[in-house]
Structure 1
Amino acid sequence: MRKPSGVLMSGTYVSPRVPPGPAGTQSLRAMRDAPLEFVTAMAAHGDVTRHDADGEPVYMLNRPDLARYVLKENGTNYTKDRTPDDDMLRPLLGNGLLTSNGAEWAAQRRRCAPAFRPAEVNRFDQVIVAAAEQLAAQWRGSGPVRVDHDLTSLTLTVIVKAMLGTDIGGAGEGFGRAVDAVNRFIGHYVPSDDPDPADTAARYVGFQRARAFLDQVTRVIIAARRAGGPGDDLLSALLTDGHPHPGTGPAAAGPAGGPSGGPSGGPGAGPGAGPGGGPGGPADVELRDQVLTIVMAGHETTAKSLTWTLYLLDRHPEAAAAVRAEIDEVLDGRAPTAADLPALRRCRQAVQEAMRLYPPVWLISRRSVAADVIDGYDIPAGSLVCVSPWVLHRDPRYWDDPAVYRPERFDPEQAARHLSHQYLPFGGGPRICLGQHFALVEATLVLAVILRDLRMELVPGFPVEPEALVTLRPRHGLMMVPRPR
């Protein structure tokens, strides 16, 4: 590591306290091509590390209490603004709940929070179960199925019906392909010495098409809800709150012009960015951003968590047998309801452990507002500070045999011994995922329906490896064969 410059204090030369880390500027290409290996290697340097990348220092925190400090205890000093999280998500999602900051973020969260309260979520159990029953029937007796895409379609159907009061029909399959295209583009940081400009350009074209498709789906959802009149779902609340003008679609301005441009219909991007009709209400562009954020955040991570759960249960027959035995005992062949959730603890734990080994959000980034000191090391103002759930979830100091799939880790007695911010599948602090209860309820009920009737077996020889893009997904998808029980 290069020697840091010191400062004069009362006439005495004082060197800043710099964390350990690798020497020299790190290869952005290597970081992009193998990000999980990179964050794992960084953690070997210590609990707080520093490396130089893309012309700036990056600090990584590899201990639960340090994650808690940045995400919660001193969270006001650490913003998502100008972070990799922001850079990846803003081109697609605009200024929605995942990307906004400060008072604007707080207002958006207050507006959305009532819809995600447990009592509200549980009343959508039949929406979830009906979608799962339909998928199980589709899979029953079929050949190999693309599990990750089919689960994406299912979770998309559920979030749109439950939170937005709309049925998007057959758009689910296309949505899955669009999400893949978006991930391929925004999930890779492109260094200045891009090794393959043609590939980057092709991925950008795919991103533009995918974004246009997602904007179209979002417009259809908003228009359908407006046409259907008021309801008791989240979108109705957003429409009532803002009274946006009918017909002034959020994507009126069309796609932005380049990879670093703002989202279609983004701030200042044309007529769709004008103010809404209600006094103080959100503009139509905010409505677009919020709806697309709800749709993306509300389906993508749950679909990936279920995908990894089915894969891991196939690889661990004893755990799968325990889950199936529980389903047989609790359900006895019938469909589950929200009332069964407390008894379906093995199903829930199977998902929780999958989210430990394959956390949907594998890296959390923040930028310091003011200078700080973390674990004795100086963090200058404006520094990029990162926490990796992938690293924390596999640290042998906090998890016995961390590479082994053991759903019983989340038995109440064992889970009570987990340290705060040791387990971060939904992030931490005030910005913890608003939909975490929804995600676990949905994943538990879907898993119960599928495994009640089917055994899901990996296609022999099919390669499975994690790919860290925006979310942690199987690089080649997941092909499995449904077998009747």
Structure 2
Amino acid sequence: MPKQLTMPPGPADDVDLEQMRHAPLEFVTGLARTYGDVTRHTADGDTVYLLNRPDLARHVLKDNGANYTKVQTPDDHMLRPLLGNGLLTSNGEEWARQRHQCAPAFRPGAVKAFDTVITEATHHLLERWQPAVKAGAPLALDHHLAALTLTIVTRAILGTDLDGVGEGFGQAVDAVNRCIGHYVPPEDPDPADTARRQRDFAQARMFLSMVTSTLIGSHRVAGGPGNTLLDAMLNGPHQLSDGELRDEVLTLIMAGHETTAKSLTWTLFLLDRNPQEAARVREEVDRVLAGRTPTAADLEELPLCRRAVQEAMRLYPPVWLTSRRAGEADVVDGYDVEPGTLMCISQWVLHRDPRYWDRPDAYHPDRFAEPVGPSHLYMPFGGGDRVCIGQHFAMVEAVLVLAMLTQRVRLELVDGFPVEPEALVTLRPKHGMSMIARPR
């Protein structure tokens, strides 16, 4: 007689995919509040566990991470068509080899060398803002920051600007984000719209692949400046083919610009909504920099800037859900996990759990004055061995950009502008972020 499996609590009936798609943040929050630390539901024939405690997240992502893979997860379905077999989508020994190849380029000491790339690009952004600053005209802040972080990451990786490509690269990135960000279930309520986005995606994917391959080829022929992230990968212990390099570079470009742009967007929004915290950041920037351009050497003297970003990533984690697929049977918190079960951890839920956070919905950057715990409670960059390889680069970039913007302007949300988080591949403001940059 087969063993009786112990299953977590959860909804008795199949969950409507359209309901989850319409309000995913409310859905995962409701599951955790109603059913506890481990929940189970079925959707479109798939069995899904949601883990709502840090030690359970650590078990799946780290302690028994070898049993859990990204294969056949929602992220895998959405990202693999664009990114191929890069760091975000590869698994097992191939992922370990790729990580080893790329790791030297992203060590804390290495990424600080790109501070000039970051500050020069931010200076040019501020110059482009001057007409709007003088006129008091609204800026689509989220779009401007996405363009800025795209410029920074491509310069850091490839040592080149994309000016020669015109606006095509940025437009292609937008088209890709529109498609992979709007995952729809098989019974699509708007087939015509989906077909259009899929056509745009196919064209954008071809364009991005072509441009990336061309830039890599040119870099190989020219020998490159020798100090880019691409050089570090080319000089690593393993020889990468052009196809492998294309997948890695495109992965780093896509992942490296989108999440940082969203983190900065939410930071500037929250500082505007919390003027006392904004005043403290301005005082720190003015005192430490005294009007000069910041460098990596200033990072240790800008703790309030760092905490402002860290707290924004707690409240609005750029990656709001992490998923893995169970390879073999396991037991999690006393519940049986069958092979093939989809295991999900929501940063949105963990980051707002009142058991671990005082005033969990409040913007309180000083909570990061001391290390937060326990392990795998705070996961803006993921967790376990697959924690984001670019996390140090992202924090250096975010702190320097925030310091420079704070020096020059005071960003205010347009009166009455609706701000609502939308949980797609990343957590973005659904209606954008329209702000006015006032001169300081």
Pairing partner for 1:129 from 97, 119, 124? 119
2:211 to 206, 217, 229: 217
Moved more, 190-199 or 462-471: 190-199
Task: Measure, in 1, the Cα distance between the counterparts of 2:166 and 2:304.
Answer: 29
Partner of 1:35: 24
Is residue 45 of structure 2 the alignment partner of residue 55 of structure 1?
A: yes
Which protein has the larger Cα radius of gyration, Structure 1 or Structure 2? 1
Evaluate the alpha carbon distance shift between residue 170 and residue 396 of structure 1 in structure 2; reply closer, same or farther with a 3 A threshold: farther
Residue 239 (structure 1) shift: 4.0
Equivalent residue for 1:468, pick from 423, 432, 436: 423
Q: Where do 5+ consecutive residues of structure 1 fail to align?
A: 1-7, 243-279
Alignment of 1:403-414 (within 5 A): 403-412=361-370
Say whether 1:383 aligns with 2:362. Answer: no
* Match among 361, 364, 367 for residue 319 of structure 2: 361
What is the distance in 1 between the residues matched to 2:274 and 2:88?
35
User: 1:127: Cα distance to partner?
Assistant: 1.0
CA positional deviation for 1:290: 0.9
In structure 2, the residue matched to 1:67 is 57
Which residue in 1 is equivalent to 2:388?
Answer: 433
Alpha-carbon offset, residue 149 of structure 1: 1.3
In the alignment, structure 1 residue 181 sits paired with structure 2 residue 175 = yes
Contact 2:157–2:249, Cα closer than 8 Å, also in 1: no
Match of 1:20 in 2: 9
Which residue of 2 is the match for residue 482 of structure 1? 437
Q: Which residue of 2 aligns with 1:336?
A: 294
Please give the per-residue CA displacement for 1:325-360, whole angstroms capped at 9, x wherever unaligned: 100110011111111100101111111011011111
Q: Where does residue 227 of structure 2 map in the other structure?
A: 232
Further displaced range: 436-445 or 452-461: 452-461
1:448–1:376 CA distance, 2 compared to 1 (3 A): same
The residue number in structure 2 matching 1:316 is 274
CA distance in 1, matches of 2:57, 2:221: 45
The 8 Å contact of residues 330 and 343 in structure 1, kept in 2 or not, is answered as yes
Deviation at 1:399, TM superposition (A): 0.8
Name the structure 1 match of 2:404. Answer: 449
Asked if the contact 1:150–1:173 (Cα under 8 Å) also holds between the matched residues in 2, the reply is no
- Aligned position for 2:307: 349
Output one character per residue of 1:290-344: Cα deviation in whole Å (capped at 9) or x when no partner: 1101111111111110111111111111110110010011001111111110010
Is residue 2:154 matched to residue 1:146? no
Which amino acid in 1 is paired with 2:161?
Answer: D
For residues 183 and 326 of structure 1, what CA distance do their matches in structure 2 show?
36
Percent of aligned pairs sharing the same letter: 64
Distance in 2 between the 1:214 and 1:156 partners?
13
Are the structure 2 counterparts of residues 154 and 77 from structure 1 closer, same or farther at C-alpha, using a change threshold of 3 Å?
same
Q: Secondary structure at the match of 1:115?
A: helix
**After the TM superposition, which of the residue ranges 371-380 and 165-174 deviates more from structure 2?**
165-174
Q: Aligned partners of 2:21, 2:166: CA distance in 1, in Å? A: 29
Give the RMSD, CA atoms, in angstroms.
1.7
Listed as ranges, the matches of 1:192-207 within 5 Å are 192-207=186-201
Partners in 2 of 1:108 and 1:307 — Cα distance?
31
- Larger relative contact order (Cα-Cα within 8 Å, sequence gap ≥ 6): 2
For the 8 Å contact 1:153–1:175, the answer to whether it is kept is: no
Q: Aligned with 1:99: secondary structure?
A: coil
Contact 1:304/1:360, CA 8 A, preserved across alignment: yes
Contact preservation (8 Å) 2:41, 2:47: yes
Cα deviation for residue 193 of structure 1 reads 2.1
Q: Secondary structure at the match of 1:290?
A: helix
CA distance in 1, matches of 2:252, 2:424: 19
Moved more, 203-212 or 38-47: 203-212
Structure 2: unaligned runs, 5 residues or longer:
none
> Deviation of residue 287 (structure 1)?
1.5
**More displaced stretch, 468-477 vs 46-55:** 468-477
Choose 475-484 or 166-175, whichever is displaced more: 166-175
| Aligned-partner SS, 1:140 | helix
Matched, 1:156 2:114: no
SS for the counterpart of 2:218 is helix
Match for 2:253 among 295, 304, 324? 295
What one-letter code is carried by the residue in structure 1 that aligns with 2:31?
Answer: M
Structure 2 distance, partners of 1:81, 1:179, is: 24
Q: Report SS of the residue matched to 2:163.
A: coil
Counterparts of 1:291 and 1:359 in 2: how far apart (Å)?
24
The separation in 2 between residues aligned to 1:234 and 1:456, in whole angstroms, is 32
Q: 1:284 matched to which residue of 2?
A: 242
How far the C-alpha of 1:221 sits from its partner, in A, is 2.4
Q: Which of 36, 39, 46 is the equivalent residue of 2:36?
A: 46
How far apart in 2 are the matches of 1:170 and 1:311? Answer: 33
Cα displacement (A) at 1:141: 4.1
**How far apart are residue 170 of structure 1 and its match?**
6.4
Question: Which residue number in structure 1 is paired with residue 159 of structure 2?
Answer: 165
Q: Which amino acid aligns with 2:437?
A: P
CA contact (8 A) 1:141 1:482 kept: no
Residue 215 of structure 1 deviates from its aligned partner by: 2.0
- TM-score of the superposed pair, with normalisation by structure 1: 0.86
Q: Which moved more, 1:307-316 or 1:218-227?
A: 218-227
Match of 1:364, SS state, is strand
**Residue matched to 1:104:** 94
Contact 1:98 1:293 (C-alpha < 8 Å) held by counterparts:
yes
Which amino acid counterpart does residue 199 of structure 2 have in structure 1?
V
Q: Counterparts of 2:351 and 2:67 in 1: how far apart (Å)? A: 25
Shift of 1:232: 2.9
Aligned equivalents of 1:175, 1:348: Cα separation in 2? 30
How many angstroms does 1:238 deviate by?
3.6
Distance (Å, rounded) in 1 between the aligned partners of 2:415 and 2:168? 27
Identify if the C-alpha distance between structure 1 residues 41 and 178 changes in structure 2 by more than 3 Å, giving closer, same or farther.
farther
Equivalences, count: 434
Q: What is the Cα deviation at residue 150 of structure 1?
A: 1.2
Q: Runs in 1 of length 4+ with deviation above 6 angstroms? A: none
Q: Residues 90 and 50 (structure 1 numbering): CA distance in 2 closer, same or farther, change over 3 Å? A: same
Amino acid in the other structure paired with 1:61 = L
Taking structure 2 as the reference length, what is the TM-score of the superposition? 0.95
C-alpha contact (below 8 Å) 1:116/1:434 kept by paired residues: yes
Contact 2:102–2:236 (CA<8 Å) still a contact in 1? Answer: no
- Cα distance in 2 between the residues matched to 1:179 and 1:50: 35
| In 1, Cα distance between equivalents of 2:239 and 2:59 | 34
